[in-house]
Structure 1
Amino acid sequence: MPRIALVTDSTASLPEDVVAERGITVVPVQVVIGAAVHDEGSEGATPETVAAALRDFRPVSTSRPAPARMLAAYEQAAADGADVVLSVHLSGEMSGTFESAQLAAQQASVPVVTVDSRQVGVATGYAVLAAADVVDAGGTVEEAATAARERAAASASLFYVDTLEYLRRGGRIGAAAALFGGALAVKPLLQIADGRVATVEKVRTAARALARLEELAVAAAGEAEVDVCVSHLASPERAAQLASNLGERLEGQLAGEVWCSELGAVLGAHVGPGMLAVCVAPRV
């Protein structure tokens, strides 16, 4: 049976202990603050540094890993004994990371199967874990790739932002939509649909938006067994409350505890402080 290595990028937002336990290689995406370039992670760009820079109106942008960096990850996997690599990444509609993976795959000394999750954040992470389950059970790389795609497609990524300005700056939402939201003091609820940011609905107050976010998350769970993660940027109290509420309301359906964590620096750079997100990932 060929030995399969799993690679993803840092936006998958998997806890470090989970990455270590499951043997997943994480390639960092980069954050550019002013003229300084940092790898996303505890030793580089953190959510705290990004939130502070945004509040201070310092320029913040992100950069995909270079194909050479992806290739280095694949070659290290091969050196460690892998016969094939499965590389799962955030939506190609939102980042050039998946393109870097494809370009690197063409030069790798072992076969590399690349998967565009069409998702962002921990929804991509859950897709990687679905692939890891297949690999651990002795499945093929094709079966693992299918599991990743199906888990990502079944997952709901819902989020609230205090302002659309940061998404507008990063080109992730149209200028007209950002202007509309700001002009009417609308609090938008957004989702990832077909790999892109899309509007779910607009409400007038933050309190109403957060209540609706909870309702939409419960509706997304349906009656399935689910993994749930609440993420935030500089909004820990609201995130903890939402995680607690969802834990109570989805008791009996949860595959494990509700994860609650600060959003990674790369995604945080595009949504800004105050952002709150929920990923609901059915077990498929």
Structure 2
Amino acid sequence: MSIRIVTDSTADIPPEIAELHQIEVVPLLVMFGDEQFRDGVDINSERFFRRLVREPKLPTTSQPPVGAFREAYERLRDEGATEIVSIHVSVKLSRTIESARQAAADVEGVRIIHIDSGMASLALGLGVIAAAVAAEAGATVDAIEALARDQFRRTHLFIMVDTLEYLRRGGRIGRAQELIGSLLQFKPLLTVVDGEVVPVGRARTKARAIEELIRRASEYRPIAEAMAVHATTPDDLEYLVQRLNGIAPDAPITLGRVTPVIGVHVGPGVLAIAVVSAPAPID
């Protein structure tokens, strides 16, 4: 029996980690006008953010075509996979998992289980990595599914953006719209609740915003593991990680960079952390 893990490019998993754990990443699409790019394949973060700030019109995104998932599932089957766990961005943020399910209906010879993480970005990525590690250790599909769902329940994502404009124009902010008019001079702070992006606060400066991200993350101690990403500010990421180490000195921290498809909706300057609280002790 061979189990493989599939996800989508919104997971913000660094390529070297995906390769290490044999995680199959199906890219979403980014469109600048009539130009179409596969996220992280045809365009990387460096090229994307340079172009984003120059373009007068915001690029758009789309879930992967059904055929991309079908090709991935069939290739993994042909490589020997007997079961696949396909874990994806919240269906309230993207219809990616719908494409994945439609593709699976056409693929024979392999059992495919789908999980809506209710998350995005690194919060999704941490659960995907955990699932892949469990698969490597010989866990069953049912055990991997249970592990992933439990981890997503214990995962908390906090995001600082320079502006809500990108989220507003992309239609991805849900209840965060309530804050648009009052945040002109503030750094909006966001999280994901029930699969939707919602506001949790604001800060007048970036330094205060980082401290607020850390304060909110600290509410979920003890922290088992964490992840942090940036878009265009590696120095800010380094400082954020230093502060994160202060509240979770024993937790492994994975670092990454926002992929283009996430960058369309959060813009340059974003910083984000995800923390996974430790499981409750068993009496």
SS of structure 1 residue aligned to 2:232: coil
- Deviation by residue 1:118-137 (Cα, 9 ceiling, x = unmatched): 11112111111222233233
- Matched to 1:159, the amino acid is I
Cα drift, residue 187 of structure 1: 2.3
CA contact (8 A) 2:187 2:206 kept: yes
Q: Distance in 2 between matches of 1:273 and 1:235?
A: 8
Structure 2 residue 206 is the aligned partner of structure 1 residue 206: yes
Match of 1:127 in 2: 127
Q: Distance in 2 between matches of 1:214 and 1:248?
A: 9
Larger mean CA deviation between 110-119 and 121-130 belongs to: 121-130
Match of 2:196 in 1: 196
Percent identity of equivalent pairs:
34
Match of 1:173 in 2: 173
Match of 2:19 in 1: 20
Q: Distance in 2 between matches of 1:249 and 1:182?
A: 28
- Deviation by residue 1:22-62 (Cα, 9 ceiling, x = unmatched): 12111111111222111111x42222233223312333111
- Deviation by residue 1:125-177 (Cα, 9 ceiling, x = unmatched): 11112222332332221211111111112111100111100000100125843
Cα drift, residue 232 of structure 1: 1.1
SS of structure 1 residue aligned to 2:217: helix
Question: TM-score, normalising length from structure 2?
Answer: 0.91
Match of 2:228 in 1: 230
CA contact (8 A) 2:14 2:257 kept: no
Match of 2:81 in 1: 82
SS of structure 2 residue aligned to 1:191: strand
Match of 1:48 in 2: 46
CA RMSD of aligned residues (A): 1.8
Match of 2:273 in 1: 278
CA contact (8 A) 2:61 2:264 kept: yes
Match of 1:59 in 2: 58
Q: Distance in 2 between matches of 1:181 and 1:55?
A: 24
Structure 2 residue 240 is the aligned partner of structure 1 residue 242: yes
Q: Distance in 1 between matches of 2:179 and 2:45?
A: 23
CA contact (8 A) 1:240 1:260 kept: no
Cα drift, residue 178 of structure 1: 5.5
Match of 2:28 in 1: 29
CA contact (8 A) 2:14 2:256 kept: no
Match of 1:106 in 2: 105
Question: TM-score, normalising length from structure 1?
Answer: 0.91
Gaps of 5+ in 2: none
Q: Distance in 2 between matches of 1:228 and 1:169?
A: 30
- Deviation by residue 1:223-244 (Cα, 9 ceiling, x = unmatched): 24x2221111112211111112
- Matched to 2:77, the amino acid is A
SS of structure 2 residue aligned to 1:139: coil
- Matched to 1:235, the amino acid is T
Q: Distance in 1 between matches of 2:151 and 2:24?
A: 19
CA contact (8 A) 1:151 1:283 kept: no
Q: Report the number of matched residues.
A: 276
Match of 2:156 in 1: 156
Q: Distance in 2 between matches of 1:17 and 1:261?
A: 10
- Matched to 2:102, the amino acid is L
